[in-house]
Every structure is written in structure tokens, then in C-alpha cells.
Amino acid sequence: MATIRLEKVEKRFGDVVAVAGIDLAIADGEFVVLVGPSGCGKSTTLRMVAGLEPVSGGKIKFDQYVVNNLTPKNRDIAMVFQSYALYPHMTVFDNMSFGLRLKGMGRDEIRRRVQDAAALLNITELLRRKPRELSGGQRQRVAMGRAIVRQPKAFLFDEPLSNLDASLRAQMRVEIKRLHKRLETTVIYVTHDQIEAMTLADRIVIMRGGQIVQVGAPMEVYEQPVDRFVAGFIGAPQMNFLPGRVVAEGNGLAFAIEGGILLPLPAARDAAYAAWRDRPMELGVRPETLHVGRFEGPDAATFEAAIDVVEPMGNEGLAFFQVAGVEVAATCDPYLRRDQGDRVPLTVDMARAHLIDVETGKVVPSGTAGRQAGHPAPALAAS
């Protein structure tokens, strides 16, 4: 149990800057997920916390102690690797008890702890097997078991689920969350899967090019991304970006999509957006706030576009359009039957759209901050 603090932590490999001076404070018992595209420095950050990689600059603190110069052995953390890294020459029991045996713990205590962890993870009947006799999911559990028995200060996970198939991954995700609820140990979890990040994290840390772009609770980074990168990275299917500009319209403002579509912006945002008129901007609209059909709502705006394809996905469908030269996805009735090229109405919930400055990629603060916890999105009513 410990708080973990990174202060201006930096890592260079020769000329490559893998981590460019990041600051992050992780509370005791918190589950923090590092996400970002490949090569953004997630693993390197984790490995510096583990002590497997020396830092090139800055400080790493566990509680109030600077651990920069401690070897992994003395940091008392447990790490779960993407490859699982089980010792092939040892049985599952020996794998799990390896760290305890190194500490010189008594046999009974070791047995008890391994049994407990094995029961927790449902691998009791595998204890005598060697890793090569296990399936991928079982190996994954053993790797977690090996971490749990040590009762470390913190768990570090580096893409632990990326070698599992989709259904197993979903199942393990739930188990990891349950384990964390129960053990209440600090976790740093690296993934490039934004669904894992959303579902597991207390806080998500989004990285890019060795820097932290945004830190926040899952719904916070979903609702209020700071820039186009975060907006596009978090949320699936991906956010649509419609090119256009802010123009005066009647008493207020509207977003004019290239090609002549005019979407009135919420009046509450007039003050915030006024300064951004007549510059190249993008409107970020999530597919789940863009519906095929004509709906009414306080900030609903409707336009028409020609349908490209429809993908039924069970409870919902996704319809794709070409608008102003970009592909746009919208939610639709999964039973929607339309021919390619049919023009259909599309309704945007403008209160949940984001205005992005094309030049800097930053999201313009709206002053009204999307949807808040406990305040459901205003329902759109069919008209």
C-alpha cells in the first residue's frame, strides 16, 4: 500500500526521448490506467516505476521516499507482464511462491498464501502443473496469482490481457476489477485498449509522444477531452470530426459545415465560442450523440446526408455517411433499411458536441462542460 508520485520523470534512450518529463500523483489504493498509442512511453513509464529501467531525470516517490536508486527487489512492487513471464522450469506453485521463498518466509505461511490466492483466482487444481501445460487464460491467472501472494505495495500491469481472445479478455477485466475492490492495492495498469481503460480505471492517464495529454476519471475524459487526440482516442466507435467554422446566425452562433450545412450552437456557449468565429474549426461529434432520424431536444440540430452503409450491431446500428469529404458514423435503428445514396435526416445533440481549433488541435472550453455526473443527457424525442 503506497502512494506513487512521479515528478518530472524523464527517459531517454540515446537520442530517443521515450518519456518527456511527466508529473503524476497516484493515491493509495487507486487504480490508474495509462493509455496511448503504441510507442508513447507507457511501458517505459511503468518499467521506471518498477525499477527495471533507470530514470534519465526526475524523481519517483513511493509515499514520501524517493526510490530512484532502489533495485526492483527493494521496491516491493509486483509486475504482471504481457508475456506472463512464468518460469517455465517451475510448477505453478513454485512460480507463485518464488518471491516468498526468496524472502525466506516459512513453509506454512507460503502454502497458506498460495492456496488463498489460488482459490481467489480459481487455479487451485493447476498448482502442480508446469506453465507449458496451461492455456493462455490460465497462465494469465497464474501470473496474477504470483503478484497477489506477495502482497506488494503496488501492482504494475503491462497490457496483461492483450494476448487473450475477446471474450476471455472481457471476463478477466471483470476479475481484475473485482480483485482490486477486494485487495485495495494501488494499481498502475498499461493498455492501449481504451475499453479496458474506461472500465477499469479510477483515473485514466492519456499519453502521447512521451507526454501526458490528460488525466481524469473515465467519464471526465470521455465528456471533456482536452484535445482532438484524446477526443478521438477515447470512445468507440471513434468521434466524428466535421470541418467547418463558427458563424453568426440570427442572435446566436452556428457551426457551418463545409458544403452549406448550418448547425445552431447552444446559446449557453455563445460567450465561450464568440472569439473563435471565422477560423478553420472542427466539430467533434460522437456517433452516440448523432442519430439517424429527426428528433426534438433543447439543443438538437438536424441536417441531411446521403447514407453510405449500415452496420447492424445487435442492439444498435451504425450508419456511415460522407459529409464534407469526411466519413461520419451515426447511431441508427439496427433494422434500418436504406439503399446506398438515400438521403436521410441526422440529428446532433449539440450540447454534447465539441469545438476544436484545427490549428492547435485543442478543444475550446465550452463553459458548460458537456454532461455531468448524475445529469443524464437530455433525451431526444422523436418528432
Partner 1 sequence: MNPRAALFRLWVYGLAALLLVICAFPLAWMVLTSIKPDREILTAVPTFIPSELTIDAYRRLFTSTIFATYFRNSIIVAGLATLLTVAVGTLAAYGITRFRFRGRELISTTMLFTYMFAPIMIVVPFYILMRQLGLVNSLFGLVLSYATFSLPFSMWLLRSFFQSIPLDLEEAAMTDGASRPQAVVRVIVPLALPGVIAVTIFTFIVAWNDYLFARVLISSDNLKTLPVGINDIYVSTVTDWGMMMAAGVVITLPALIFFVLVQRYLIAGWGAGGVKG
Ligand X SMILES: Nc1ncnc2c1ncn2[C@@H]1O[C@H](COP(=O)(O)OP(=O)(O)OP(=O)(O)O)[C@@H](O)[C@H]1O
Binding site for ligand X (CB under 6 A): 13, 16, 18, 36, 38-44, 192
Shortest distance, CB of residue 254 to partner 1, whole angstroms? 53
Site pattern 30..49 for Mg ion (x: CB under 5 A): -------------x------
Residue 71: C-alpha distances to residues 67, 68, 128, 137 (Å): 8, 8, 31, 30
Which residues, 6+ apart, have CB-to-CB distance to 357 below 8 Å? 276, 279, 281, 364
Measured from the CB atom, is 88 or 314 closer to partner 1? 88
Distance CA 78, CA 189 (A): 12
Decide if 318 contacts 329 (C-beta within 8 A). Answer: yes
> Please, what is the minimum distance in Å from the beta carbon of residue 190 to ligand X?
6
**Residue 89 binding: pick among partner 1, Mg ion, ligand X, none (C-beta 5-8 Å cut-off by kind):** partner 1
Using CA atoms, how far apart are residues 168 and 273, in angstroms rounded to an integer?
45
Q: How far apart are CA 76 and CA 156, in angstroms?
A: 11
Binding residues for Mg ion, rule CB under 5 A, total: 1
Least CB distance to Mg ion at residue 217 (A): 24
| CB of residue 189 to partner 1, shortest distance in Å | 15
Which residues make up the interface to partner 1 (CB under 8 A)? 50-52, 71-73, 75-79, 81-89, 98-99, 102-103, 130-134, 136, 139, 146, 150, 156, 163
Nearer to Mg ion, 93 or 189 (CB): 189
Say if CB 144 and CB 78 are below 8 A apart: no
CA 24 – CA 60 distance, rounded (Å): 10
CA 382 to CA 102: how far, in whole Å?
66
Q: Which partner from the list Mg ion, partner 1, ligand X, none does 86 bind, CB cut-off 5 to 8 Å by kind? A: partner 1
Query: Kind and range of the H or E element at 107?
Result: helix 107-121
> Which DSSP letter does residue 226 get?
S
Based on CB atoms, which residue is closest to ligand X, 6 or 281? 6
CA pair distance 238, 240, nearest whole angstrom: 6
Amino acid residing at 342: D
Q: In angstroms, what is the minimal distance from the CB of 158 to Mg ion?
A: 6
Nearer to partner 1, 75 or 371 (CB): 75
In the complex, least distance from residue 174 CB atom to ligand X, rounded to whole angstroms: 23
Residue 81: contacted member of Mg ion, ligand X, partner 1, none (CB under 5 to 8 Å, by partner type): partner 1
Residues in touch with Mg ion (CB under 5 A) = 43
